[in-house]
């Protein structure tokens, strides 16, 4: 049965190719497909270590050779990049289209694409490849036709990528990797940071190495000062700094899980969550019993989220979230509105065992 099926597939594949060859013969040209078509290659590619101080309009180029099936053919090309060792399980597509020998980008364009997968301002090992999809359209559905095209992939090339992120200030002195960013590059920086009460910090601009510390009375961040700022307790905070006048604010943002399904019940301390910078949500893995939970801020009820319906949506003072069975859970909290009393968001709760 398998032998007959193989013969049928080969037959229709030949029919598909004959359709192409027949069309070429009508034009007076006879073509033959190589038994082993030559895949595309990447001849050269740019260094992908980018910095905010560089020229965002600079053109960078990937030079390639096209697939060679033994005759002149059109193909669709895909330029892909992935973290090293991932075997391109979920590659980032940098380009798709007919261009086969020269693929170019502005630095700003390529940087924006890289930031969707790779961390800003960090060097990451990666691999790049180019794929060619070749279609022989004879309408048979056989290998090489529109619904089952031939695919040829280049050897992957190793590289190091470093996309630049938003202008930032690094926190110096904390054991956690912390920074705050300026979305509009206007001297106004903010972000969530995880702090320890025993680790005071100063600020440093990684682009020009300028250091900022507190002034003598501790009311403003000033260039070349060494006085540091300490948090009142360990946990997550929102730090906002205005370098135009040195003013700053440091507000506790300690979101947690509370309820009868938690070890402390409806009392404090809550099960604290950590902020996932890359994904933009809060998360925790914890053991829960049968019962209910809610989310709240800083172990208090002025800010709290409960169910707003049954689809995972949350609202201020919403109803309790049921936990039907005991076990280990991975919980995420995405906050779409931080300001009380209009806080809102949605959650996921996945049982791990």
Residue 347, pLDDT above cutoff 50: yes
Instruction: Count other Cβ atoms within 10 Å, centred on residue 332.
Output: 18
Q: What's the average model confidence in pLDDT over 163-170? A: 96
Cβ-contact 57, 108 below 8 angstroms = yes
Examine the pLDDT at 106 and tell me if it is beyond 50: yes
Place of tokens 């931080």: 338
User: Is domain 255-351 given the CATH code 2.60.120 in the classification?
Assistant: no
From-to residues of CATH 2.60.40.10 in the chain: 35-136+144-162
Task: Provide the pLDDT for residue 147.
Answer: 59
Average pLDDT over residues 179-203: 97
pLDDT of residue 94 exceeding 70, the answer is yes
> DSSP character for 14?
H
Q: How far apart are CA 55 and CA 278, in angstroms?
A: 26
pLDDT of 148: 64
Predicted local distance difference test score (pLDDT) of residue 175: 96
**Tokens, residue 22:** 């027949």
Judge whether 275 and 193 are in contact, CB under 8 Å.
Answer: no
- C-alpha to C-alpha distance for 41 and 133, rounded to whole angstroms: 14
Q: Give CA–CA dist 23/28, Å, rounded.
A: 9
* Range from 12-21, 103-112, 210-219 carrying the lowest mean pLDDT: 12-21
pLDDT band at 26 (very low <50, low <70, confident <90, very high): very low
Check whether 102 has a pLDDT greater than 60: yes
Q: What is the largest CA-CA distance in the chain?
A: 89
pLDDT at 215 over 60: yes
Position 33 scores a pLDDT of: 65
DSSP string, 290-348: SEEEEEEETTEEEEEEEESSSSSEEEET-BPEEE-S-EEEEEEEEEEE-STTS-EEEEE
Q: Is the pLDDT of residue 140 over 70?
A: no
Q: What HEC string does 209-225 produce?
A: CCEEEECCCCCCEEECC
The mean pLDDT value for 203-212 works out to 96
pLDDT of residue 292: 99
Q: What's the CA gap between 6 and 143, in Å, rounded?
A: 11
The 3-state DSSP class for residue 53 equals coil
Give the angle subtended at the CA of 177 by the CAs of 263 and 305, to the nearest 5°. Answer: 40
Q: What pLDDT shows up at residue 20?
A: 41
Count the neighbouring beta carbons within 10 Å of the beta carbon of residue 39: 18
**Average pLDDT over all residues of the chain:** 89
pTM of the model: 0.75
- pLDDT category at 308 given cuts 50, 70, 90 is very high
| Average pLDDT, integer, range 52-68 | 95
The average pLDDT across 117-138 equals: 89
> Is domain 168-252 given the CATH code 3.30.70.120 in the classification?
no
Q: Are 203 and 221 in contact (CB under 8 A)?
A: yes
Which of 31-40, 62-71, 189-198 comes out lowest in average pLDDT?
31-40
Where in the chain are all domains bearing CATH 2.60.40.3620? Answer: 168-252
Q: Judge whether 142 and 16 are in contact, CB under 8 Å.
A: yes
Q: Which residue has the higher pLDDT, 94 or 16?
A: 94
For 233-253, what is each residue's pLDDT tens digit? 999 999 999 999 999 999 999
The predicted structure's pLDDT at residue 134: 86
Determine the pLDDT at residue 22: 40
* CATH class of this structure's domain 35-136+144-162: mainly beta
Question: Could you give the 3-state DSSP secondary structure of residue 133?
Answer: strand
Looking at residue 37, its pLDDT comes to 87
């Amino acid at each position: 049965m398998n032998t007959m099926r193989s013969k049928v597939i080969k037959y229709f594949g030949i029919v598909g190719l004959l359709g192409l060859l027949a069309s070429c013969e009508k034009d007076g040209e006879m073509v033959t497909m190589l038994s082993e078509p030559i895949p595309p290659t990447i001849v050269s590619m740019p260094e992908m270590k980018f910095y905010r101080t560089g020229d965002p309009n600079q053109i960078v180029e990937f030079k390639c050779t096209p697939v060679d099936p033994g005759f002149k053919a059109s193909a669709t090309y895909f330029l892909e990049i992935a973290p090293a060792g991932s075997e391109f399980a979920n590659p980032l597509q940098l380009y798709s289209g007919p261009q086969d020998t020269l693929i170019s980008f502005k630095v700003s364009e390529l940087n924006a694409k890289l930031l969707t997968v790779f961390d800003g301002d960090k060097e990451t090992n990666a691999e790049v490849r180019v794929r060619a999809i070749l279609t022989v359209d004879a309408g048979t559905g056989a290998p090489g036709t529109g619904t089952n095209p031939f695919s040829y992939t280049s050897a992957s090339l190793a590289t190091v990528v470093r996309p630049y992120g938003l202008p930032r200030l690094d926190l110096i002195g904390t054991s956690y990797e912390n920074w705050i960013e300026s979305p509009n590059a206007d001297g106004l920086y903010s972000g969530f940071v995880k702090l320890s009460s025993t680790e005071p910090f100063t600020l440093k601009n990684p682009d020009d190495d300028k250091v900022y510390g507190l002034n003598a009375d501790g009311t403003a961040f000033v260039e070349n000062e060494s006085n540091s700022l300490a948090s009142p307790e360990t946990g997550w905070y929102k730090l906002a700094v205005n370098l135009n006048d040195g003013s700053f604010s440091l507000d506790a943002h300690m979101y947690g899980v509370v309820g009868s399904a938690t070890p402390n019940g409806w009392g404090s301390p809550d099960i604290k969550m950590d902020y996932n910078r890359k994904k933009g949500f809060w998360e925790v893995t914890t053991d829960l019993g049968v019962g209910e939970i809610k989310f709240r801020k800083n172990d208090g009820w002025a800010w709290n989220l409960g169910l707003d319906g049954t689809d995972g949506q949350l609202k201020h003072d919403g109803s309790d979230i049921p936990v039907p069975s005991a076990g280990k859970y991975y919980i995420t909290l995405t906050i779409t509105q931080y300001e009380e009393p209009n806080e809102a968001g949605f959650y996921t709760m996945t049982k791990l065992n």
